[in-house]
Structure 1
Amino acid sequence: MPRGNALIVDDSSTARIILARLLEKADLTSKGVGSAEDALSLLQHEHFDLIFLDHLLPGMNGFDALEKLKARPETRDIPVFMYTSQNADRYLQDARARGAAGVIGKQVEREQLIQMIDAILADNDSPPDFEAPELGPYQTVADQSYLRKLTGRLSTLEIAYEEANEDIRAMKQHMARVDARFQEELEVRVSRIRRLWILSTVVFVLVALLLGLQVNSVSETVDGLNTQLELITQMIGGLMELVGGGG
């Protein structure tokens, strides 16, 4: 049974799919919408345990939507995370000032996301921040930022690869069903053609037999007529002899 249900609000279908895959790995179900207005409407009759809210949305932006969510009694206690590419400290402060539980980057790592979700679902009021690891002796802040982005992108590629594999698997299953249906239809058509051929052969044989019987009947009739004509000829010949003898 899933641990919870999350709402993803993002106008990018790709971003919704990637985050949904990550949440699935954390044993959460999810539903996605493309605007804040759709999210607010959906929340009137569906319950969600977490909300991931993009900042740049068509129509109402993420901060305006966040303020509305925190103003409504039925949604103000739902943890809301800004799911955005913006990562400035000022943005994080503004988001938390409006009631957000935190800010998650579009290139978030799977382990970090699962750690945050575990803390939220355990009713932890202060979910862990995604702190950067300590710098090595030859690392700079830029190196650390680059590695963090690279790791997030690799995680995104992993999700995309898994999704592609699932699509390929689904396509193979669909092609197998199509092939099975084609084979069934082919067998039905071959069976119909076979039955038609057998029926045609039987009809041909019957017609041939009938024609043979008719030919025999006609032959017998002709033979009978010839016999009768011979008798009539003999009778006429006899009468001619009688007539001639009498004269």
Structure 2
Amino acid sequence: MARAHALIIEDSSTARIILARLLERSGISSKGVSTAEEAFSLLQHESYDVIFLDHLLPGMNGFQALEQLKSQPHTRDIPVFMYTSQNAERYIDEAKTLGAAGVIRKQIDREHLQKTLDTLLVNSPEPEYSEAFRIAVEETGRTAQENTEQATRKLTGRMSTLEVAYEELEEELRELRQASENAQRQHTDRINRQSRSIRWLMATAVLLVVALVWVSSWQANILDNHIERTNEQFELMHSIVGGVIELISR
């Protein structure tokens, strides 16, 4: 059973899938939407333990969405992490001012994400988020650029991202191959149906020609018989008329 349920607000389907899989490996189930508007509609009837929010979204942007999340009674206590592909440090102050639990990069590694989520879910900070928690999340992000060990973890995270992206690409290729095979099968079936229709039409045409030839031959025979009887009757009449003339002449 999942230990928490997360909402991912991200317009990139690939980024949603990558984060969802990373969360799943941390024992957290998730649901993804592509716009803040969809998220607010979902939050009307579903509850979540944590929200990951991209700062660049179509329609309402991430900071506008964060501000609205923190202004609504039923969502203001949900921890929100800004999720960005840009330099996370650029947005920490603004995100913190608006009530975000932290800012993380999309290239985050599993260990970093795991520690952050453990801090959030195990310690269960108050709705206002303790300053210690904020500092822990922010310093974890800063440390990633300040020492070699964190740089190595970042590289590992990027490799994990590539791994998940590769798995997704492989799945898409498999679906594409399946779709291609289905299309080829449908095309073959259509050609077979057309071939059967053409053969049936040709057979019907041959039968019609044979029938026409037979009817024409039959009618020709009838006509020949009629002409022959007419000739016989004409010869009979000619004989009769000749006989009558001969009698008259006598």
In the superposition, the TM-score normalised over structure 2's length comes to 0.71
Question: CA-to-partner distance for each residue in 1:218-240, whole Å, 9 max, x for gaps?
Answer: 11111111111222222233234
Change (3 A) 1:176 1:149: same
Q: Which residue of 2 aligns with 1:19?
A: 19
CA distance in 2 between counterparts of 1:242 and 1:59 reads: 125
Structure-to-structure mapping, 1:197-212, within 5 angstroms: 197-212=202-217
Residue pair 1:53, 1:80 contacting (<8 A) in 2 also: yes
> In structure 1, what residue type is equivalent to 2:105?
G
In angstroms, what is the RMSD of aligned CA positions? Answer: 3.8
State the shift of 1:155 in Å. 2.1
Question: CA-to-partner distance for each residue in 1:46-66, whole Å, 9 max, x for gaps?
Answer: 32232012346676653x654
CA distance in 2 between counterparts of 1:153 and 1:21 reads: 14
Residue pair 2:54, 2:82 contacting (<8 A) in 1 also: yes
Q: Which runs of 5+ in 2 are unaligned?
A: 126-132
SS in 2 for 1:159: helix
> In structure 2, what residue type is equivalent to 1:125?
S
Q: Which residue of 2 aligns with 1:136?
A: none
CA distance in 2 between counterparts of 1:173 and 1:90 reads: 43
State the shift of 1:214 in Å. 0.6
Q: Which residue of 1 aligns with 2:129?
A: none
Change (3 A) 1:226 1:32: same
Deviates more, 1:150-159 or 1:218-227: 150-159
Q: Which residue of 2 aligns with 1:109?
A: 109
Deviates more, 1:204-213 or 1:81-90: 81-90
Please say if 1:91 is aligned against 2:96: no
Please say if 1:172 is aligned against 2:155: no
Residue pair 2:79, 2:100 contacting (<8 A) in 1 also: yes
Change (3 A) 1:5 1:177: farther
In the superposition, the TM-score normalised over structure 1's length comes to 0.72
State the shift of 1:142 in Å. 5.1
Residue pair 1:67, 1:98 contacting (<8 A) in 2 also: yes
Question: CA-to-partner distance for each residue in 1:121-147, whole Å, 9 max, x for gaps?
Answer: 5x4427996969xxxxxxx95544543
Change (3 A) 1:206 1:4: farther
Q: Which residue of 2 aligns with 1:79?
A: 79
CA distance in 1 between counterparts of 2:98 and 2:166 reads: 36
> In structure 2, what residue type is equivalent to 1:192?
S
Residue pair 1:12, 1:34 contacting (<8 A) in 2 also: no
Q: Which residue of 2 aligns with 1:69?
A: 69
Q: Which runs of 5+ in 1 are unaligned?
A: 133-139
Q: What number of residue pairs does the alignment pair up?
A: 234
State the shift of 1:21 in Å. 4.3
CA distance in 2 between counterparts of 1:67 and 1:224 reads: 110
Change (3 A) 1:56 1:164: closer
CA distance in 2 between counterparts of 1:75 and 1:100 reads: 12
State the shift of 1:162 in Å. 1.8
Q: Which residue of 2 aligns with 1:152?
A: 157
SS in 2 for 1:28: strand
Residue pair 2:55, 2:61 contacting (<8 A) in 1 also: no
Q: Which residue of 1 aligns with 2:130?
A: none
CA distance in 2 between counterparts of 1:228 and 1:50 reads: 113
Please say if 1:6 is aligned against 2:6: yes
CA distance in 1 between counterparts of 2:90 and 2:217 reads: 104
SS in 1 for 2:31: strand
